[in-house]
Amino acid sequence: MNQSHVAMSPAQAIEFSVPEPTGLRRNDVEALAENIAAQMGYLPGADIFSAVVEAGGRVDYKDYWDSKNIDSGSLVVYGEGNFEIFLSTETSHLRDKFTVAHELGHYVLHYLYPRQVLSKPINYLKADRYGTNKTEWEANWFAAAFLMPKRKFTNDFRSAQGRIREVSELFGVSESAVKIRARSLGLTHKDDEKEE
Amino acid sequence: MTKKKNDAFEFLSPKIRLFLSADLIGSTALKQAVGISAALKKDGAGFSSTHSGWISPILFFYREFTKLFFTSWDDERKKYEKRHETSAIRERPFLWKSAGDELIFCIVLETEDSLFLSIYAWMSAIRAYRERTSVLERALDVKSAVWVAGFPVLNQEVALPNEQFIFKDEVSRVEGDYTTNLMNLQEHYRNIKKSNWKIDFIGPSIDTGFRLAKFADSRRIIISVELSNIMARCSLTKMKENDICIYFDGMVELKGVVGGEPYPIFWIDVSSNKYYSESLQKITRSDAISLENLEEFTKAFIDEHKKYLFLPFINGALNPDLRAPPANYRTQIEHIAETLKKEMRKESDLEKSLANVEVDPDEVPKHQLNVSLPKGNEKTTLLIDEDGN
């Protein structure tokens, strides 16, 4: 197929696909997330923003609380290696890191995976910050495994004797993310989480 | 009775709060004057006291002034209710902060009546305190500033974790950002009695109040432009009924306020010597401002600085003009409520998605997925084919 290299403004009308569930099991999504992290050379606790830029992403900010802002899009994919992630101007850095990993999950699971593995003709993709279907769960699984890969997380959590804050600093994620991850890996139950 | 649209988020209902600051005059000098030398033993061997005489006048102020204001406010409310045969005023003033030798009280204004009775009770408390202390040897005089702040647009309520809960599981959201704060406020107001949060107020109107307080003296209660505007719009009857006159004392630059441009100093007379005060006013030609002029100027000032201020309103005011919020105010509040609902659902979904399905750390994935991550294009333009795909 001939391609003409035409510069197009993202503002121009484009037909965007919306994320569709992959139907993959959580373990498969997690394995894929760890594989992608390895391809990106991303190590737990490192700077996810630079890693995204390396992969052709751009990170921008939007005020979702402003009534003038009617677009609640959080990810726009224009092509492989060409996507834009929008973060809220009003959230903390730790929450933002999880959001970046979540949007990266949409990019991999709902754009690259259907194109490369299922040969689906998706050209452009747009995900919403307030999406509600199964794709959000899949992107959350991806983000948790990308930022807190299960083997390393399990080992480090045990070495830190379950001290939440210590683990949160190690992986550069919020304490609540550590608590949820530890619970889902069967490392703790809600009643026995340690505080420093 | 119809339910309000944002009942679920009580803290998003428009509120205007009145802040009343009372500060001791000369307390620093008193502390310094009787400082360490008075605390030392005569023979120079160690200390004979911890406070050396300055603490009692300050504690007296804390206790007496607070008592006088609350008593005076209750009296005024009774008078008001008797006059209007109603018991409409539910919100009471409370001590918001004590900072050094300053006490700051706060009250949510339900109607213009709660504004006037609070101001009048405040003036009565200052005069009564002065009268009571005039016979005491070491008591100190008081100065005051009063201002209003509108919430939740322009100024904000903030939920601060109680120290004993800060690292507990119940307070999982300790990140400091707007989104988290709204979620925490929701948690607080849902069950105030068992709340892990304490509520504070921040915002530009409050900063302005603190700056204005520097211009107060024993004779003048300094009032902010927004408060002056509401008082002017309330009605002449109420001002006369409450014997309140407002004076103007020029424009000053308040650091960081309205972009550093000159800000008007309006004040209310609370001097205890009426003869002295009136004769001073004659020679300084500082007549009370007419309410028409005050309303016109404050409105023009707010309009001139609309980047920083908007015309204040009291949500439950009896006068419809005072009830009207600025254009788009309600739309913005509704948008915030909607966005908050979505953010809360997003957070709850995140927790459900990660917690409900346990991951077996030793399980080998069933599929090997070969997804390769392309490197980023150097240029961020789009590549489209001839068919426009």
Strands of the sheet with B142-151, listed across from one edge: B94-99, B102-108, B15-24, B142-151, B220-223, B262-269, B246-253
- Residue B325 buriedness (CB in 10 A; 0-12 / 13-18 / 19+): middle
Give the one of A2, A184, A190 whose C-beta lies nearest to B359's C-beta. A184
What is the identity of the amino acid at A56?
G
B205 closest CA partner among B148, B164, B151, B143: B148
For every residue of A72-108, DSSP letters joined together read -EEEEEEETTEEEEEEETTS-HHHHHHHHHHHHHHHI
pLDDT band with cut points at 50, 70 and 90 for residue B375: confident
- CA-nearest residue of chain B to A16? B389
Contact between B373 and A88 using a beta-carbon 8 Å cutoff = no
Q: pTM score, two decimals?
A: 0.83
Q: How does pLDDT run across B172-190, given as a tens digit for each residue? A: 555 678 888 999 899 889 8
The maximal CA–CA distance of chain A, rounded, in angstroms, is 61
Decide if B113 contacts B34 (C-beta within 8 A). no
Closest Cα of chain A to B29: distance in Å? Answer: 44
First to last CA, chain A: 60
pLDDT band with cut points at 50, 70 and 90 for residue B363: low
A143 closest CA partner among A95, A86, A175, A189: A95
Interface test with A, best of B174, B183, B353, B372 (most A CBs within 10 A): B353
Interface test with B, best of A69, A122, A140 (most B CBs within 10 A): A140
Interface contacts A/B by beta carbons within 8 Å: 181
Contact between A117 and B369 using a beta-carbon 8 Å cutoff = yes
Residues of chain A contacting B355 with CB distance shorter than 8 Å:
180, 183-184
DSSP letter assigned to residue A17: B
The verdict on whether omega for the bond into residue B374 sits within 30 degrees of 0, i.e. cis, is: no
Q: Please give the Cα distance from B276 to B177 (Å, whole number).
A: 52
Decide if B70 contacts B36 (C-beta within 8 A). no
Instruction: Quote the tokens at residue B109.
Output: 């204004």
Q: CATH number of the domain at A3-147, please?
A: 1.10.10.2910
Contact between B175 and A174 using a beta-carbon 8 Å cutoff = yes
Average pLDDT over residues B179-203: 89
A45 closest CA partner among A186, A139, A149: A149
Whole-number pLDDT of residue A14: 82
Contact between B380 and A183 using a beta-carbon 8 Å cutoff = no
Percent of chain A with pLDDT over 70: 90
Residues of chain B contacting A40 with CB distance shorter than 8 Å:
373
Instruction: Quote the tokens at residue A36.
Output: 């992608």
Contact between A82 and B377 using a beta-carbon 8 Å cutoff = yes
Whole-number pLDDT of residue B65: 94
| CA–centroid distance for A170 within its chain | 19
Q: How does pLDDT run across B25-84, given as a tens digit for each residue? A: 877 777 776 655 655 666 666 665 666 667 777 888 899 999 999 999 999 998 888 877
Contact between B384 and A6 using a beta-carbon 8 Å cutoff = yes
Q: Please give the Cα distance from A37 to B272 (Å, whole number).
A: 75
What is the identity of the amino acid at B373?
L
Q: How does pLDDT run across B259-278, given as a tens digit for each residue? A: 999 999 999 998 877 767 77
